[in-house]
């Protein structure tokens, strides 16, 4: 079953960002998902399949 990834949710990913943070805010969804790092503000974009695999847990709905 697909994970409910929607704009505004804060998630923890399995792999940490280069700055050391694992918390990201979802800023765009669709075939690709854009995440914004909550520590440094950088934006990463992953395809939906990879994003669903990398999400460890949803912190804020």
User: pLDDT digit string (tens) for 9-46?
Assistant: 999 999 999 999 999 999 999 999 999 999 999 999 99
- pTM of the shown model: 0.91
The CA distances from residue 33 to 17, 21, 42, 56, in Å, are 16, 18, 14, 15
**34 SS3 class:** strand
């Amino acid at each position: 079953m697909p994970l409910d990834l929607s704009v505004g949710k804060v998630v923890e990913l399995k792999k940490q960002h280069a700055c050391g943070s694992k918390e990201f805010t979802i800023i765009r969804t669709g075939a690709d998902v854009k995440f914004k790092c909550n520590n440094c503000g950088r934006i990463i974009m992953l395809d939906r399949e990879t994003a669903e695999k990398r999400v460890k847990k949803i912190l804020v709905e």
